[in-house]
Structure 1
Amino acid sequence: MDQERLSLSPLAAFRDHLARGELAYQYDPASGRAVFPPRVIGPGTGNPDLAWRASAGLGTVYAVTVISPRDQAPYNVVLVDMDEGFRLMSRVEGVPADDVRIGLRVRAQVHTPPDGQPPYPVFLPEAA
């Protein structure tokens, strides 16, 4: 059984990886699939022995929407399909919100908020 799983909740283990600069996901050996978001048991299998793996951080924008709040800069919200086989919601930084397109290759980066909130993954366009 994965020692990390014994000592931390799935969310705490995920955040611990982020604090170390890693985007982590779980892997279910019973199904041979990536598991995300973090869970106690594998979906479809009920397997309680999920293993943690570090993602290489590369993915492709699956869906994007641009939010344009009044009196604020627009920002994007994206779904990213990671190369390891899981999908997560985040944002793409480093380019204007309207320039983010479906199919854009991106690389994960851990964002640590200055106000002491937990770190979370964001994405940057991958260099061509």
Structure 2
Amino acid sequence: MQVSKFWRELPQRYRLEGKKCVQCGKVCFPPRDICPVCNTNQMMRINLPKRGKIVTYTVMHTAPTSFEIYKPYIIALVQLEDGTYLTTQLTDCKPESVTLGMDVEAVVRKINEDGRDGIIYYSYKFRPVLNTNADKKKY
């Protein structure tokens, strides 16, 4: 990955940042400069919710070279609490424990590195929410 692209993508990778259309309210992830609904360029940055539910998922048994250490790994379509959808890798769970509708939360994890002395890439992944009732009591 080019260094300039790496730095441009930091907000969406670390803060789970999207854009929301000022005119029609459409939320876009990954962020877009033009609204796909009303074609305006009046988009504002927003932080997306860190929790959601699994809509569908698949288990990857064959992986690209840089992801072989993770296999088998789970790729899921998650609907966030605000209705935004995103595709993500699940972590901290076994494939047989994943269920449709499972509550998940965003975490930052290492995803790759450019050799031993290169850039280490981190990004969001999602993991199961362990105890929803205990978490609600904290807030």
The TM-score normalised by the length of structure 1 is 0.77
2:99 partner letter? R
Equivalence for 2:136: none
Which residue of structure 2 aligns with residue 51 of structure 1?
44
1:55, 1:46 → 2: CA distance? 21
Return structure 1 stretches of 4+ with deviation > 4 angstroms.
none
Aligned with 2:39: secondary structure? coil
Answer yes or no: is 1:120 the counterpart of 2:119.
no
Q: What is the aligned length?
A: 117
Secondary structure at the aligned position of 1:30 is classed as: coil
Aligned letter for 2:21? D
Flag the structure with higher helix content: 2
Q: Which residue of 2 aligns with 1:5?
A: none
Which structure 1 segments of 5+ residues have no match?
A: 1-7
Deviation at 1:118, TM superposition (A): 4.2
Which residues of 2 match residues 1-128 of structure 1 at below 5 A? 12=8, 15-18=9-12, 21-69=14-62, 73-113=71-111, 115=113, 116=119, 118-128=121-131
Rounded to whole Å, the distance in 2 between the matches of 1:43 and 1:83 is 21
TM value normalised by structure 2:
0.72
- CA apart distance, 1:28: 0.8
Structure 2: how far apart are the matches of 1:124 and 1:63?
Answer: 14
Comparing both chains, which one has the higher relative contact order based on Cα–Cα distances under 8 Å and sequence gaps of 6 or more?
Answer: 1
Supply the distance in 2 between the matched residues of 1:27 and 1:53 (Cα, whole angstroms).
7
Larger Rg: 2
- Alignment partner of 2:90: what SS? coil
Q: Is the 8 A contact 1:18 1:110 kept in 2?
A: no
Q: How far apart are residue 67 of structure 1 and its match?
A: 1.9
Residue 53 of structure 1 aligns with an amino acid whose one-letter code is I
**Whole-Å separation in 1 of the counterparts to 2:89 and 2:111:** 14
> Displacement, 1:34?
1.1
